[in-house]
Structure 1
Amino acid sequence: MGTLLALMSALGYGLSDFWGGTASRRVGFARVALLGQLGGLAVTALAGLLVFPAGPHPADLGWGALSGVGTGIAMTFLFRGISRGAMSVVVPISAVGGAALPVLLGTALLGERPAASVWAGIAMAVPALWLVAGGATGAGPNARAAVGDGLIAGVGIAVQYLALARAAPASGIWPVTAGRAAAVVLVAAFAWTLASGSSDTAPGPGHRADLTAVFSGILAAAALVSYLFATRTEYLAVAVVLSSLYPIVPVVLGVTALRERLHSSQIIGLVAASAASIVIATS
């Protein structure tokens, strides 16, 4: 069940990044990140009241808030990177750091010992994600800056995954809600500082992109809830790596819907990532 939840998380994240990324090119990355976190906060708070009315332990809310700090960093820099670079490059780069760091720390600090077949899948998945991001090194200045944004987003994603996994099972989804609240504050601060003096402050073309941004945030929150429940029945390394396969979705949609070019290394990476998910899921 944990592997299925982690794969559902990957699907939700992938769709969220695609819709949020396309909206960031129309109304600005800071606005999209903020609207998305507000949408996620509203939905998770309502779901928490309806499904988990009992209040969680303050420590679990603290872990959730720390996870939200990672989310705020990840979403702001991810959408900024997408707004000035290829989605099929920026998103996979963010996933590499987001997957590798929790796996290493989960093994070193938490004493996790997945089966050998799981490690084989993980060893295949991480370089596969890097291959999906192939072709970025020869791009222009904006694309190189977008790669830097993707790397920063990857650190934020790692913090998000690691902190949320520390919340107790009895806390329900309240840690995710606490994370959305912290992310709203952080993204608002980023929006104030990063968007000042840039074209991101320009008014958007209409309400459709704003609604898309809110929807992307709701999808991301749902994906994070799926990941949270996955960590309660699976090793952290397994849940993180499977959830981190989300770049497959925006890469495929970027190629098919946005006409972005797919390099041969990316094709190899997509095939390897798919094989890795099957190996881990069947272990």
Structure 2
Amino acid sequence: MFSAVVALVGALIYGSADFLGGLAARQLKAIVVTATAAGSGLMLLLVAAPFFGGTWNREDVIWGALSGIAGALAIGLLYACLAIGPMSILSPLTAVVSAIAPMLWGLLIDGETLASVGYIGLALAVVAVVLVGFIPGQRTVRPSALGVAMAIGSGLSIGAFLILINHTSESSGLIPLVINRAVNTAITGSIVVALIVVAVRRGEGATSPLRPRAVGTAGLRRAWMLAIGCGVTDALANVLLLIALREGQLSIVSALTALYPAGTILLAAIVLRERIAPVQAIGLVLAVAAGALLAIA
């Protein structure tokens, strides 16, 4: 029960991080927000790691580094597929794949078993992921094969991140997450540097890739703070995810973690006064029911 509750709370915090990152991306370029969030999350993990203890070993460092690559790939493919659209189809598709892939891994590869009520909870969670992740109000358009492929690739990469982190030993503490975030920071930071180099060669100036949209000083300061807050919040969610995985089963934790869009839409409703669509409200109810069933499984 403890791991299920922690995973569900972590999912809501993941959604909160996405909300902050989305607000920051209204003023700053997405890659700048991503790199800034990766760096600020790394700082938090470096500060927190000594309090969790942990022993350095080669295997955990490798798992952490591979999970960092998987995470960076997941973000890149997610942004790319959502840019192609339609988001109302590709967003829930990504979330569902990110739930099912590690869920099947846990049940079929790791040999995890659940009570009957647990399998009902998993089924409800998958349905809830689809409904919560659905973005209403968009014109129904058939997604392109490329968009579907990238959405599936993003979901598989998120699933790979969960599986890889799940392979780390309990004695490693937060070390795998530190390595994960360091690799992620290196990848996204290198992309920003590459964009700066290209801009300089084109005569656009070194600050061109970093140049924000037309906002005042206060708005720009707010955007940077939101990007930093996104990284800190996301790192906190990673810690909760790691705790949930070490206390529970991959199949349950992955299903509940995939409900992260719930945190985004709840914050959007509270802060931005955005209306929660009926289909999303149903998804939220099913998510609570799934969480309850998985907690007692």
Asked if these proteins are the same fold (TM beyond 0.5), I'd say yes
Distance 1:127 1:32 in 2: 31
3-state SS of 2:56 partner: coil
Q: Is the 8 A contact 2:91 2:134 kept in 1?
A: no
Distance 2:151 2:16 in 1: 17
Deviation at 1:281, TM superposition (A): 1.5
Aligned AA for 2:132?
V
Per the alignment, do residues 91 and 26 of structure 1 end up closer, same or farther by CA in structure 2, a change over 3 Å counting? farther
Q: Which residue of 2 aligns with 1:271?
A: 285
Deviation at 1:30, TM superposition (A): 0.4
Distance 2:146 2:195 in 1: 14
Tell me if 1:14 matches 2:26: no
Tell me if 1:66 matches 2:66: yes
3-state SS of 2:189 partner: helix
Q: CA RMSD in A?
A: 3.3
Deviation at 1:28, TM superposition (A): 1.4
Q: Which residue of 2 aligns with 1:126?
A: 126
Q: Which residue of 1 aligns with 2:38?
A: 37
Q: Is the 8 A contact 2:86 2:141 kept in 1?
A: no
Distance 2:268 2:145 in 1: 18
Count of matched residue pairs: 280
Q: Which runs of 5+ in 1 are unaligned?
A: none
Deviations 1:218-244 (CA, angstroms, capped at 9, x unpaired):
111111111111111211111111222
Distance 1:122 1:10 in 2: 15
Tell me if 1:115 matches 2:129: no
Per the alignment, do residues 90 and 214 of structure 1 end up closer, same or farther by CA in structure 2, a change over 3 Å counting? farther
Aligned AA for 1:98?
S
Distance 1:158 1:164 in 2: 10
After TM superposition, the score normalised by the length of structure 2 is 0.81
Per the alignment, do residues 248 and 143 of structure 1 end up closer, same or farther by CA in structure 2, a change over 3 Å counting? farther
Per the alignment, do residues 98 and 45 of structure 1 end up closer, same or farther by CA in structure 2, a change over 3 Å counting? same
Tell me if 1:172 matches 2:173: yes
Per the alignment, do residues 37 and 186 of structure 1 end up closer, same or farther by CA in structure 2, a change over 3 Å counting? same
Q: Is the 8 A contact 1:70 1:156 kept in 2?
A: yes
Q: Which runs of 5+ in 2 are unaligned?
A: 200-207
Q: Which moved more, 1:42-51 or 1:120-129?
A: 42-51
Per the alignment, do residues 191 and 156 of structure 1 end up closer, same or farther by CA in structure 2, a change over 3 Å counting? farther
Per the alignment, do residues 145 and 269 of structure 1 end up closer, same or farther by CA in structure 2, a change over 3 Å counting? farther
Distance 1:134 1:155 in 2: 19
Aligned AA for 2:104?
L
Q: Which residue of 2 aligns with 1:182?
A: 183
Distance 2:22 2:67 in 1: 21
Q: Is the 8 A contact 1:24 1:82 kept in 2?
A: no
Distance 1:100 1:5 in 2: 19
Distance 1:193 1:151 in 2: 27
Q: 1:203-282, aligned counterparts within 5 Å? A: 203-204=211-212, 205=215, 206-258=220-272, 260=274, 262-282=276-296
3-state SS of 2:231 partner: helix
Tell me if 1:201 matches 2:215: no
After TM superposition, the score normalised by the length of structure 1 is 0.85
Distance 1:55 1:73 in 2: 28
Per the alignment, do residues 48 and 279 of structure 1 end up closer, same or farther by CA in structure 2, a change over 3 Å counting? same
Distance 1:30 1:145 in 2: 21
Distance 2:28 2:224 in 1: 8
Give me the identity figure in percent. Answer: 30
Deviation at 1:216, TM superposition (A): 0.9
3-state SS of 2:139 partner: coil
Q: Which residue of 2 aligns with 1:104?
A: 104
Distance 1:88 1:170 in 2: 41
Distance 1:93 1:259 in 2: 26
Q: Is the 8 A contact 2:117 2:294 kept in 1?
A: yes
Q: Is the 8 A contact 1:33 1:79 kept in 2?
A: no
Question: Rg bigger for which structure?
Answer: 2
Distance 1:227 1:259 in 2: 29
Per the alignment, do residues 149 and 257 of structure 1 end up closer, same or farther by CA in structure 2, a change over 3 Å counting? farther
Per the alignment, do residues 141 and 20 of structure 1 end up closer, same or farther by CA in structure 2, a change over 3 Å counting? farther
3-state SS of 2:27 partner: helix
Aligned AA for 1:163?
L
